[in-house]
Amino acid sequence: MNATEAILEMTAPNKRDLTEELAGRVSRAAVIRRDEPLAKHTTLRVGGPADVYVEPAAEADLVTVVRLCGERGVPCFIIGRGSNLLVRDGGFRGVIICLSHQNFSRIEVVGERLRCGAGARLKNVAVEAKRSGLSGVEFLEGIPGSVGGALRMNAGANGGETKDVLIEAVGIDRDGKRHVFSNAEMKFVYRASGVDPSIIFTSARFRGTIAAPDAIRARMMEVQNHRETAQPIREKTGGSTFKNPPGHSAWKLVDAAGCRGLRLGGAQVSEMHCNFLINTGDATANDIETLGETVRQRVRDNCGIELQWEIKRIGIAA
């Protein structure tokens, strides 16, 4: 069975069978649901349901889920906190795996190193480093995502990137085999990693540097103030929508194309920072994606530059 056939064949009985089989194989602490609305698992608060939704309670659960999906030819996709993610209105045909269990969110400090689960919030990593007198990861305070997403996207803000502080990352492949990647083996580039997309990251180790508490606190306040004054953090948004083209700022290109404040249905280009698309309250995923494509067309017409989506889009249209 190929992926297309698997998608087409995920009918209600198959969803029930898959859910029941998963429940019989993973630990009792794992969460498994059918037809789970994904809007509540993304910061944009839009999107249709997942056929099957799983929160593994441990790495062994994750391996079991991934292997079973492989055996059944069922697509699966990993989410964290749901930032930088747009789920289309028709939902996801397959299994969504969310690493939100506390076992994937632990942060441990040993000397000048931080070991973090893939589900740990980046803000919490920065806060824990501050408590331990470690500098270098303050920029993570300004990124509304999790460690797993940061590894996949080389997340960055305020002059720092994941590649600057990563020692190594751990992940599993779709056969459940464990892999350890050095910083160099992550093949980081701007807003991306070169590691096989099928690898599911489970943890990472970051380096810090001992510094004066006042200096760390001041840097984190600087990052926080920048977010509060320059980004629409109190709105429903997925974060930066488009990657910065080489030598350009995406928001400046969007602004120059006359798109600041542009609306389509319940979606709007932010007035505060026009590289952010906002769900004003009743937007659909189609509203947001269509608005994004409209912005891309206007920028292309205005200056000839092709903006690339930074937000990951998954699922099918309604």
Asked if 295 and 312 count as a contact pair (C-beta separation under 8 A), the reply is: no
* Known catalytic membership, residue 16: no
Residue of 105, 240, 296, 298 marked catalytic: 240
Q: Up-side HSE of residue 85: CA atoms within 13 Å toward CB?
A: 29
Q: Name the pLDDT band for 47 (thresholds 50, 70, 90).
A: very high
* Helix (H) / strand (E) containing 200: strand 200-207
Domains, the chain: 3-102 (3.30.43.10), 105-215 (3.30.465.10), 233-314 (3.90.78.10)
- Tell whether pTM > 0.85: yes
pLDDT band at 318 (very low <50, low <70, confident <90, very high): confident
> What pLDDT is attached to residue 9?
53
Asked if 203 is an active-site residue, the reply is no
Are the beta carbons of 118 and 104 closer than 8 angstroms?
Answer: yes
* CB count in 10 Å sphere of residue 133: 15
> Which pLDDT belongs to residue 147?
98
pLDDT band at 142 (very low <50, low <70, confident <90, very high): confident
Question: Interior CA angle at 102 toward 131 and 181, to 5°?
Answer: 80
The question of whether 55 is a catalytic residue gets the answer no
Which one is catalytic: 93, 191, 205, 296? 191
* pLDDT (average), residues 287-316: 98
Phi, psi angle pair for 208, to nearest 5°: -125, 180
